[in-house]
Structure formats: C-alpha cells, structure tokens
Amino acid sequence: MVGSGLWFIGVPNPGLWGILGMLLRFIPYIGPIIAAALPIIVALAVDPGWSMPLWTTGLFVVVELTTGQVIEPWLYGHSTGLSGIAVVVAAAFWTLLWGPIGLLLSTPLTMCLVVRGRHVEHLQFLEVLLGDQPALAPEESFYQRILADDPDEASHLAEEFLKENSLSDYYDQIAIRGLALAQLDVNRGMLDHDQRVRIKEAVDAVIDNLSDHDDLLPAGSSASDGAVPTPVFSVEELAPSWHGPPVLCVAGRGSLDEASAAMLAQLLQKHGIGARVAPSTSVSPPNLFALDATGVQMAYLCYLEPGSFTNPHYLVRRLRRKLRWTPIVRQPEPLFKV
C-alpha cells in the first residue's frame, strides 16, 4: 500500500520505500515513524511546493491507522502475546547484541521465545516472563490472596469478574477451584489447622463482601444473550414447610468444606430458599444428637476432597438418624448450578 501510494504521488523509488516500510514495522514504536520520515524528506527535496510532502504525510497517516488499528488486529488478533515491557527490553537487548539488525529482529525473535514457552513445558517461564497473560490462573489468584489473608483484594477481583458473569459462575469457576487447590495442599501436609481456619475466615469475608450482588447475569454481558435466568422464589411460591431455612448445608470434613457450604447457602438465599450451614463438628458422632434439624427439608453435603465415598457414606448414615425422611444430596458437578 505504501509503495503504490507513493508511486501515484510521484515520490522517487516508491518500491524501495514500500520495502523499508514493511521491514521497519518490525521495530516497535519508532519503526513506522522512521519509515514515514525517509520518503517525506525525499518529497521535500524533490518538490518545490508543499503538495507532495503533505500527500506523503497523509498517506502514511491513513495507511498506519488502517493497518495498525483495523487490518492487523483482524488478521493477527488484538495482541502479539508480548507484554509492553518485554517489547522494550527485547528491543534494547537485541540492539545491544546485534545493532540495527537486532532492533529489526527483536520483536519476531521474542515472539518465537514466547511461543516456545507456551508449548514446551520446561520453558513455560519464558511465557510468564515475556507474555502478556496473567502469571496465575483466576482460581490461583483467588487462592493466593486468600492464603495471604487479603479478602478485600480477592473481593475486588471477584467484582471485576461479576461485571460479565453471575455470582454462581464466580463461585463455581473460581472460588471453589481455589479452595480445591487449598485442599490439595492440606492433603500434602502443607497447611496446618490454624492456616485452614484463617483461609475459612478470609473466604467468609469475601462471601460477606459479595452479599450485595444478586445471582444474575449482568445486563448487556455476552453471556446473558439468550440465557434463561434462574428463578428467585417468593414466600408465596414455596410450600409452607419451606418458609423457614429448609436446606441444611453440611460441611463434610473441615473448615474448607464449611467455606464451600457457606457459598452454597448464600446462593440458595439469593434465590429465595432459606439455608444454614452445619459445621463438620456438629455432625460428628458425639455432637449429632444436639444438631438442630427443625424445619429441615433437604440436607446438602459439601466435600472438596476427591476420592472415596467412605466418609460421605457414614456421614449420611449418621444424618439418617436425625433426618429420617429428608433427601440428602452430595455436591454434584458443576458445584453451584442451582
């Protein structure tokens, strides 16, 4: 496009400037400026008036805006996958190493390293170091902030997610998976009892911070197009026996399961169904007789730890002594599709 436009304008050697424009685009930030400056200087030298330099300047402005903002994003995507800092550092490094040729090749070479890190397991640090994707997955970020006892930052990230998704999607896709990572650390002996309690308290703070959000897809979000909203029941729509807190969310084995049960209880309340949480200690054999089962119409067992069903089996057997005719459900997949 540059070569053809310069040929119509009458600038000498349009093919040369077109080839240079193509090559100089590999140089980040200043490459297009250099590519435009050279033919503009030539136009100033050969034309006694101002028409040729102005037409040349206008050509580069139009071509640069069209290719940089429309054509290239459409063809290649919105990003090369490189972070801005990586582009600048790579340009400085390859220029120091190879001079102008290194500056020309800095972006392609760095992109090759990022692609290699994306597909070779032992080189993934290259993608983390040079790429523009977050170093941690959303559930890992949630776990990191909860482990650091920073529920407010976790809540801030949650509200960013809730701009495009529902509350149940957040709990199902991020919070529960983050707690599952914590459970894996528990199984490996990396979290003691006090740390598990602090994690549970931090999750309770996140749940409280999100209590003002309804479990609805935000208006205008791409996910809400054609989606059928989950109903919110009024008191008149529920059977008389379901007017109190009829659902008992039972934590399976510890404080992490209690945190997941609290999420489920909050979602049920968002949909007009009363629920309360029963800690794992309240359903242990010595304490089961004191469990308040008044008005319970359904019990829901919450387990984060995968594996055998031995513990749920005996827990259900104990609950049957207290809740003889009450349906008991173990947490299915997906976790929080009410």
Q: Is 332 left (phi over 0), alpha (psi -120 to 50) or beta?
A: beta
Q: What CA–CA distance (Å, rounded) separates 116 from 108?
A: 12
What local confidence, expressed as pLDDT, does residue 247 receive?
94
* Domain boundaries, given as residue ranges, for the chain: 2-76, 84-130, 138-224, 235-330
DSSP H or E segment with residue 14:
helix 14-24
Architecture label for domain 235-330: 3-Layer(aba) Sandwich (3.40)
Q: Which residue has the higher pLDDT, 294 or 132?
A: 294
Residue 126's contacts (CB-CB under 8 Å, 6 or more residues apart) are 113, 114, 116, 117
Confidence check: pLDDT of 223 > 70: no
Report the alpha-carbon distance of residue 228 to residue 185 in Å, rounded. 37
Reduced 3-state DSSP string for 69-94: HHHHHHHHCCCCCECHHHHHHHHHHH
Cα(164)–Cα(271) distance, rounded to whole angstroms? 19
Q: What is the pTM of this model?
A: 0.65
Task: With CA atoms as reference, report the closest residue to 210 among 145, 278, 156.
Answer: 156
| Rounded mean pLDDT, 40-66 | 88
Which residue's structure tokens are 């580069």?
60
Indicate the range of 165-174, 235-244, 273-282 predicted with least confidence.
235-244
Token pair listed for 113: 């390293």
Sign of CA pseudo-dihedral 17, 18, 19, 24: positive
* pLDDT tens column, 190-219: 999 899 999 999 999 999 999 999 888 776
Q: Work out the number of other CB atoms within 10 angstroms of the CB of residue 294.
A: 7
